[in-house]
């Protein structure tokens, strides 16, 4: 690179450029949301670990989803809260890149875990007699480990491609965390390869899994309509509808953010979309699963009764 280019050491996150009164309000509101995210997902994870009746493949993957949601929110939200309190928050370049790496890794894991959960529901409803074989403990462990390993490897590809770029300014990111598209704007060279890899990864990690989920639930819907028992209908719809709500929220916001043309999404709108999949979705997931799932509500009641007896 040319000698007159200066390398970035510190980056300013502009965050939400609003008045001080609104910043205080948003800081308090997002702090509550973040607390609810940690509390809700922590409760879901704890109940699944402690209640033997929830030691099934579906709740095994739900516990992984809870871990991912807590990690995902913790990677982004604390910096956002600091940004709101300090108006302009500075972050060093390497921690910024690490935040981008973890944000991508956790997002990829969530996509894959949601696909695996849809496959679990497909096997449970469409092939109940083979469920214990197709979703054995070993198979579940392999699927979970593969999701984590593959997600971090894919995020590592993005990280390597980012680090090969020369960064010489501007020293500001118009976002509340180091989101990958915002980080690429700091580069002083063409980022076409990064953009192509991001789009290809979106097709592979968003569109592909979403198609698999839709196919799974199309088969599930046909199988549910064949169930004669009213109780069977209700139980199947209860577990599947909660999962579909989570899938719709996460995949919808992510696809709009990364696969729609950039001209349709001004920077302020991108921040709002980012809030959906890094704060609102992790907060809503435990609420959706606890409110719409009879087994989770039953486990909660059993845990509260034990607490009272003690």
**Cβ partners under 8 Å of residue 60, min gap 6:** 48, 140, 144
pLDDT in tens, 131-159: 999 999 999 999 999 999 999 999 999 99
CA–CA gap between residue 18 and residue 30 (Å, rounded): 15
Instruction: Identify the pLDDT of residue 76.
Output: 87
Question: What domains are there in the chain, each with its CATH number?
Answer: 10-304 (1.20.1070.10)
Spatial CA neighbour of 62 closest among 198, 246, 275: 246
pLDDT in tens, 234-277: 666 666 776 777 787 788 878 877 776 554 456 777 787 788 77
Give the model's confidence band at 100: pLDDT under 50 very low, under 70 low, under 90 confident, else very high: very high
Give the model's confidence band at 169: pLDDT under 50 very low, under 70 low, under 90 confident, else very high: low
Instruction: Identify the pLDDT of residue 232.
Output: 60
DSSP 165: S
> What would the mean pLDDT of 272-301 be, rounded to a whole number?
78
């Amino acid at each position: 690179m040319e000698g007159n280019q200066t390398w970035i050491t510190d980056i300013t996150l502009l965050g939400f450029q609003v008045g001080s009164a609104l910043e205080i309000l948003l800081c308090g509101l997002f702090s509550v949301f973040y607390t609810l995210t940690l509390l809700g997902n922590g409760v879901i994870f704890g109940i699944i670990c402690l209640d033997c009746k929830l030691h099934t493949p579906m709740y095994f993957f739900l516990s992984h989803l809870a871990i991912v949601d807590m990690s995902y929110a913790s990677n982004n939200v604390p910096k956002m809260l600091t940004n709101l309190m300090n108006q302009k928050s500075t972050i060093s370049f390497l921690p910024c890149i690490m935040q981008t790496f973890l944000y991508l890794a956790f997002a990829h894991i969530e996509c894959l875990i949601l696909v695996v959960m849809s496959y679990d529901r497909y096997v449970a409803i469409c092939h109940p007699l083979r469920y214990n074989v197709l979703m054995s403990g070993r198979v579940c462990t392999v699927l979970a480990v593969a999701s984590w390993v593959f997600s971090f490897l894919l995020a590592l590809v993005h990280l390597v491609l980012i680090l090969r770029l020369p960064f010489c300014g501007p020293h500001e990111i118009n976002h509340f965390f180091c989101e990958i598209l915002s980080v690429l704007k700091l580069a002083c060279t063409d980022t076409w390869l990064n953009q192509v890899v991001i789009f290809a990864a979106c097709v592979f990690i968003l569109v592909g899994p979403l198609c698999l989920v839709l196919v799974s639930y199309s088969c599930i819907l046909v199988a549910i309509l064949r169930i004669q028992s009213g109780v069977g209908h209700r139980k199947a719809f209860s577990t599947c509808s909660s999962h579909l709500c989570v899938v719709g929220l996460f995949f919808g916001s992510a696809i709009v953010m990364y696969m729609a043309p950039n001209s349709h999404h001004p920077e302020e709108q991108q921040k709002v979309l980012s809030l959906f999949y890094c704060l609102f979705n992790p907060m809503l997931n435990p609420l959706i699963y606890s409110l719409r799932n009879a087994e989770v509500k039953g486990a909660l009641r059993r845990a509260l009764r034990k607490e009272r007896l003690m």
